Structure 1
Amino acid sequence: MFDGRQRRVVSMWFPRLASDRVLRARPVDGPFALTLKDNNAERLYCLNPAAERLGLSRGMPFSDARAFCPDLVSRPADPRADARLLAVLRRWATRYCPWVGVEGVDGLVLDITGAAHLMGGEAGMLVDMRQRMGRAGIGLRLGLADTRGAAWALARHGEGVAAPGAPLDALGPLPVAALRLAPEAAVALQRLGLATIGALAEAPRAPLARRFGPGLMRRLDQALGDQPEPVAPAPEPPHYATRLTLPEPIGRVEDVMAGLSRLLPPLCEKLAQHEAGARAFRLTLRRVDQESREVELRLARPMRDPARIGPLFARGVAEVDAGYGIDQLRLQALGVEALPARQVTQMTERPADRLDDLITRIGTRIGLENVQRFLPADSHIPERAFLIAPAAFSRPEGPWHSPRPRPLRLFPPEPIAATGPHPPARFRWRRMGFTTGRATGPERLAPEWWLQDESWRRGLRDYWQVETAGGRRLWMFHTPQDPGWFVQGEFA
């Protein structure tokens, strides 16, 4: 009871949350499923109603599903995106009541005690929920009861409403699995002839508690209201920002940096408490004329070290027009990511830290996206054996591995006039004449048949390392299926 009113709880279940999220952006006519890798096997993760009507189910191997339903359209699942959507739905559900919690990965629980009259009563509130979710394209099943357990059971095993003070009347016909039991316990109860919650409630408690432990009776008592089960709203994420109001306006760069040095330590300490780091910081400088100037610092890696972050602001602060003076500084951490604490060693600063600081300094001048690095790629084709990625958003991967040496310089194939399967004794390339001194090879490479690459339309390539009489080492190849010779690289 709460303030003399009967406690009422709503369970909102989104049975196809993942697939509904994807189909809202890109609708599909016909059977559709999301797949997720489980123990090196692709399995169905979430399906739309059309796929379920064809007999497909969650957990089914994807290969079996495609054999059973050749028209099945599939896409990879993204549980993180699903979690973000559920967080958005949780915030949206606070329009009905302030007490909204997350129930698993696809549900919400709301304590609407004393709030239903604001929506025209319980029936009007449930209708409003269904209509809004229907317009949003998200499937919804609802359960309303006096307890959290009863509302959960009604939403997932018989969408409905339990009358106040009589949860057993609505729960009695439902299966024992509706009590949130482990599948093994539900099967064992069914073998004993206790297939429904009503039959379980009438059975002697002591033998069941000895056989199944206290958890079974606790779930039953929670559903019937004999044991409390609160609805705890999800905590709001921490806000990473600090502010400094000055008694007198300032304008010198040194004074602004001094104020920044007072804002950084408490902000970084809060980040450390949550084992987090920021990928960007925004310094807002409010002038006495009520206008503001912002200095944004983007970092190559998440950081929370004031000694390393502070000097990186110097260039941006120096470019700010202070006008008639600055009377307030506000520092905010953006792009907060997990940054677990690491063990302290004799080396207080790792070489990677210095490299990240260098990338950040260069990135403040030309943009972090323009500081790039090469990464190895899983391909034996020379043109596809590497990737170019922004250094700030990638880590060096490796080691670089190739069964044969590769040239330091690689360029598009350039034809030369030569015939025969072996390197020519003399040839001209880039208007220069060369004499072959020594040749090593061939190394045969076949095109990747699953990719359409116009540059490999000649088929197989036989690569040779050719050392010329003048000392230049060239990487040349011959195409036996469409005879021709080409130069593609040069060794150091």
Structure 2
Amino acid sequence: MKRVVSIWLPSWPIFRLRRAEPAAVPSLQPFALVESGAHGLAITAVNGEAARLGIEPGQSLTDARAAHPDLVSRPAEPEQDRIALLRLARWVGRYGPNRHIDGKEGLWIDITGVAHLFGGEEALLDDIALRLQSFGIAVQVGLADTLGAAHALARFGCPPDAAWVMAPALETRDAIASLPVEALRLEASCVLLLKRLGLRHIGQLYAIPRDSLARRFRSSDLASAVLVRLDQALGQTEEPRKPMQPPPVLSVARAFVEPLISSEALESFASELAAELAAALAAKDLGARVLRLTFYRADGTSGSIAAAMSTPSHDAQHMIALLKEKFPTMDAGFGVDLLRLDAVKAGKREAIQKRFVAGQSSPFLNPSELVDRLVSRFGENAVTVLRPNSSHIPERAQVRLPAIEVLAAESSSRVSSYAPPWPYPKRLDRPAFLLARPELIKVTAGVPADPPKNFIWRRVERRVVRAEGPERIADEWWLSLYLGEGQKAPRTRDYYKIEDQKGAFYWVFRHGLFDGEGASDPPSWFLHGLFA
């Protein structure tokens, strides 16, 4: 049975502004936030003094000022309110990973299977309300089997002397029956029509046949909207809910009575969580691919660090080693009162040989662990590997790819090994060091169509004593079909392996032919690589 919490923050824009600019909101004078509407400036939020005088959101600023000339107003900042609400939504992830904002003044949290960690649902609701109230936030909380019912209870069912209300499991129908129809999240036109029909409470809709209810509305769209919202609240229709982040595969958490500030304590408890998560993964024969450690601060803020692994792993030491690389970026602030470690992505863990023979004293290292450590320290794009590319031009015959992605793909059961796009010769003689771009050389004694006898590279003249070749590599003719005006067509290359008088081996090529290929532009020579 799903259980959903809805949190309503009725004065959120005022709280956000007061926290950002303490002097901006007067405490003894009526104050309102306004924004432009179809009929001029309308009030969107008010402080306590304005509410005491009867000024309400939605009221025209002109009408409010006519009754209360001392009303102070300021333009609303909905985007800043939303950003702050998203930050709070990240913080309430301490109560469940599936959560998001709900409108402009609310949040929702899916607490299915979580309440026992807080001592039950009532203790969880108490904890939510008390923590938010300690920040100075006005809050009302509702808990039910559906988001629609929890939303209705939080806004219309909370007793005046309480901060939360709960509908027991499987009793949603009775819990919301006495609530007004406005609680169904309907448009004003639907609410007005329902009241004109004498339907003021949700429970009055239960006994009316659906066909009869639909006939009472002017349009089928209005009737459909009422029925959809009613079914969502009662759990008869699934309501789509998109959380802020994809739910983790597995998650472990640790709460603290006294907030932690020292990095040593955080590291120690993070190690315990890594061991706990590793055991849970091993029990399911899984390995984590992406880890996320989230720390919830006592002041209502949160932060997180993440680490990725090239192959699925449930090695606790490896997990914590990757996270330790990011520990210097953690800011405990006023103290961390909850740590959560999530396996965001996971896969089947394959058996890995640790030694060549039984009894071998020094195990060989798994290269994926080294890659993970380097990526965690320097970033994904800083650690790359070369892989063949669909081109026979030497400088384009390989491509650099992030090592962590390559190892992840090769470790997957769907990818057993790399298959080139066409058969390559098995024994290509290629230099160990290939220049990123071929460098022009000056041939001082060369015979047409033969290798050079002497050449100058980087201002040093070298005498050729031995040469092998040529190996002809034709141009990629299909690229010349898309050349722009003024661009030169690619030319044929003749490669030679040459040795100078000091025993150094070079890979050079003649770019172009002496006849039949750009005869007006004579061939030129380039050095492309060095042999070991």
- Structure 2-normalised TM-score? 0.43
- Structure 1-normalised TM-score? 0.47
Bigger Rg, which one: 2
